[in-house]
Amino acid sequence: MAESFDLVVIGGGPGGYVAAIRGAQMGMKVACVERELLGGICLNWGCIPTKALLRSAEVFHLAKNAKDYGLKIDKVDFDLDAIVQRSRGVAKQMNGGIKSLFKKNKVTHIEGEAKITGKGKVAVKGKDGKTTELTAKDVIIATGARARELEHLKADGELVWTYRHALTPNTMPKKLLVIGSGAIGIEFASFFNELGSDVTVVEMMDCVLPVEDADISKFAEKSFKKQGMTIKTKASVTELKKGKDSVTCVVETDGKKEEITVDRVIIAIGITGNVEGLGLEDAGINVDRGHIVTNEWGQTGVDGFWAIGDVAGAPWLAHKASHEGIIAVEKINGVKGLHPMDKGNIPGCTYCRPQVASVGLTEAKAKEQGHEVRVGSFPFIGNGKAVALGEPEGMVKTVFDKKTGELLGAHMVGAEVTELIQGYAVARTLETTEQELMHTVFPHPTLSEMMHESVLDAYGKAIHF
């Protein structure tokens, strides 16, 4: 006999577990199937443990520069094993938190590999080899994604790492090459560089963090180079030659090839959805370039089947996945007044040093879309709190529609900008114009005052710079 549910969620990551909890809150009988650990890649092998590593690197940086704050600290050093152990402990704690939330909300957690076997039918193969049959009116697919690899760029976990291997390094490489300068690549480059590795970053595009506004990207790249990183843009790694305990990387730039020998390589060239083995084709669910095709509500086009999060395509962000999960569940339950998510209002954050955060359109994208723009910016050096913190490096940039005053985009680089960006995300969600932002009172002394000054600068009214 199959066990019957109102909703079965395949995947227990930030999209899946949130969808499961929201469904239970709405009175549904819910099962969540997860083959590994609750929390998915984000909580166990991504967002959370990387932030723990980066926090250790940040504290190490501050300790090394204690004299700048009038403090004396002798013999500053680090213990890599202890740093990794702390990171894994943070992930374990958060994983346990989700188990508690499932228990509180009466979500049934089923461990195993799920496969769709028919309309409203899911078979789960457990670690013991036994198969459990589940039925449900609705099934949400939230299986996430994994690191993308190319035929000539494959990880082995020893000399060549993906993000999972880099989270539990078997050594502190003296020399490290990172392929890809998106959020994942730059965060690991920042971590290892801070702890003393000689880091080279290779990026195919003409700038690091290529999805960011050009001014922010240039500022960040200049900072990375100042910290000692070697940045190679418009370049690609065409071959990896593995030695006994080193890798020689063939890097091609403008048709010229050079060989760079390093201890370890991190591959961070994007992700691809986990669509294999789910029975999607037999169910008639459309997959395009490694991702499930959905409409704005997460519907796949096959009645009763939904997909959310990384497996449903860009942007590949945990908070996007969580919000999609809530939208799908509320759509299933017929919530009135529900509206699709505006992906233009999803903030993106990169936790390198300096941090980078943004929401909405870059200046270039705004112009491409036909907007006549007004642009404001404000430097960290002009902010009292930033100087007092010893963090004078950074800037805030805002882009407005010249005719309507609409906030089209906001872009930041500097200390704690990943916390500040939500202010602009709220502003965009509320369809705030420059008038409301200019008349908002920002507390002093705070870093947030730079957000106000950037808006004022767009209209020729900045006070402190």
- The first and second tokens of residue 151, run together, are 């035929």
- Sequence length of the chain is 465
Which residue, chain included where needed, has tokens 């004299």?
67
Element (DSSP H or E) covering residue 82: helix 80-105
Q: Report d(CA 437, CA 144) in Å as an integer.
A: 37
Residues 6+ apart with CB under 8 A from 445: 383, 384, 385, 388
Which position among 291, 444, 452, 464 bears the catalytic label? Answer: 444
Helix (H, G, I), strand (E, B) or coil at 276: coil
State the CB neighbour count (10 A cutoff) for residue 344.
12
The torsion angle over the Cα atoms of residues 99, 57, 266 and 39, rounded to 10 degrees, is 10
**Which residues are paired to 427 by β-bridges?**
none
Contact 141, 311 (CB under 8 A): yes
Q: Mutual orientation of helices 449-458 and 417-429 as an angle, nearest 10°?
A: 50
Residues 6+ apart with CB under 8 A from 340: 296, 297, 327
Active site residue 323: no
User: For residues 88-97, b (16+ Cβ closer than 10 Å) or e, as one string?
Assistant: eebbeebbee
Residues 6+ apart with CB under 8 A from 329: 7, 19, 22, 23, 26, 28, 140
Omega into 315 within 30° of 0, i.e. cis? yes
Contact 158, 170 (CB under 8 A): yes
Strands 131-141 and 3-10: parallel
Which residue, chain included where needed, has tokens 């202010």?
423
- The first and second tokens of residue 411, run together, are 């872009």
What is the residue type of 64?
K
Among candidate residues 46, 317, 311, the one with its CA nearest the CA of residue 164:
46
Contact 23, 329 (CB under 8 A): yes
First and final C-alpha spacing in the chain? 71
Work out whether the CA dihedral 299, 46, 37, 55 comes out positive or negative: negative
Strands 407-413 and 395-401: antiparallel
Active site residues: 444
